[in-house]
Structure 1
Amino acid sequence: MAEKAIEKVQVGFKASVSKTITPEVIRKFAEVSEDHNPLHLDEEYAKKTVFGERIAHGILAVGFISAALTKLPGTVVYLSQTVEFSKPVKIGDTIEAIVEVEEITREKSQVKLKTYCQNQRGEQVLRGEAKVKLFDLK
């Protein structure tokens, strides 16, 4: 009998993915999300803001957390995600999304994880908590 996905997870397990933010990444995200806020797309507009330059959509970085969750065993389905943004993500930043298992409810096949993203300088740009359910492949 095959081991269940939830049995393969341990508290403290970490997974991560990294991505460098380019103007093209931001443009593609704006296209797919239909979020055309000029703060993300218009250099002249962005220069006049508190940021002084274009920044990435905050939710773009949150998407990398979803990618890191795919490193868990089995099929992962989100139940919830909280997020707090602490720093802007800038063009040229390399963002690492990290998920860490904090709690496991084996009878429900559910996992609670600490989630955060940091830039190449080790500065945390967002943090939160995810709850997911693990499913086995048939």
Structure 2
Amino acid sequence: MSTHSPDSETPTATPVREQWSSISKHVFNSYLEANNAFLASMGVQPPTASKTTDADRDCGASTTVESPLAELAFADEAWLTERSVEEHDELGVGEYVRFTKRISESDVSAFATASGDTNRLHLEDGFAETTQFGGRIAHGTLVAGTISAALARFPGTTVYLSQDLEFLAPVEIGDAVTAECELLEDLGDDRYRVRTTVSAASDDGDENDDGRTVIDGEAVVAISPLPDE
């Protein structure tokens, strides 16, 4: 990883103060969301999510809403979820969940700060244009995180036990990605072997670039019934 600061001089670089303000805003939101999820896991009701202000939208913040799924602390009105069953006792081989979201500029900025991965390939236009990708791309582990988001949407409480991944293609900032998780094998004791894939649709309108598989792999997870509330 490069030690070069993301605020180096490039013609398209965002002013340092403005960039830091934006990153700080999104990191705060990420920490708040993580805290809410932790409180929910402990049986404490987190604050009700509300729509963002105009200032939030200027920073590219998400619009959070109350989640219709008991498994989630909150949702975003732009996220899409499809699942084949609604109850934990209906889970079995062949059941699936699909989760779709667009990878935004704010996602990349927040992930870079939260993870410490400030690779110039993800943050600097001028540098990224000189690489084999021809422009900035999203962090691979950020994109892979949508698999975790999909797993969390199975009915019940999902816990990761293992994950194998193969990164097949890059994801550009602005692409919409869909993570699909399908139960392949019932291992007993609420544990399952799961096929995990992520596909991406380009934001540039190129139909030939839509639906390409960018990540493939398998996971083992435990999906237990939701605790009584």
Instruction: Name the TM-score, length of structure 2 as normaliser.
Output: 0.56
- 1:72 shift after superposition: 1.2
Check if 1:112 corresponds to 2:170: no
Check if 1:26 corresponds to 2:108: yes
Residue in structure 1 matching 2:215, options 117, 126, 130: 126
Give the aligned residue type for 1:74. G
Q: Which residue of 2 aligns with 1:51?
A: 133
TM-superposition CA deviations, 1:89-133 (whole Å, max 9, x none): 001210001101101123x21011100000120100001001001
- 1:8 shift after superposition: 2.5
Count how many residue pairs are aligned between Structure 1 and Structure 2: 133
TM-superposition CA deviations, 1:2-27 (whole Å, max 9, x none): xx94x321111110111112221111
Q: Which residue of 2 aligns with 1:92?
A: 174
Cα distance between partner residues in 2 of 1:130 and 1:98: 12
**Runs ≥4 in structure 1, deviation > 2 angstroms?**
none
Percentage of identical aligned residues: 40
Q: Please, which runs of 5 or more residues in structure 2 have no aligned partner?
A: 1-86, 202-209
Give the aligned residue type for 1:126. I
Q: Please, which runs of 5 or more residues in structure 1 have no aligned partner?
A: none
3-state secondary structure, aligned to 2:114: helix
Give the aligned residue type for 1:53. G
- 1:75 shift after superposition: 0.8
Residue in structure 2 matching 1:69, options 151, 175, 178: 151
Cα distance between partner residues in 2 of 1:97 and 1:134: 18
Check if 1:17 corresponds to 2:99: yes
- Higher percent of residues as strand: 1
Instruction: Name the TM-score, length of structure 1 as normaliser.
Output: 0.91
TM-superposition CA deviations, 1:20-59 (whole Å, max 9, x none): 1222111111111111000000111101111010000000
3-state secondary structure, aligned to 1:32: helix
RCO higher in structure (CA 8 A, sep ≥6): 1
- Tell me the C-alpha RMSD between the 2 structures: 1.3
Give the aligned residue type for 1:112. R
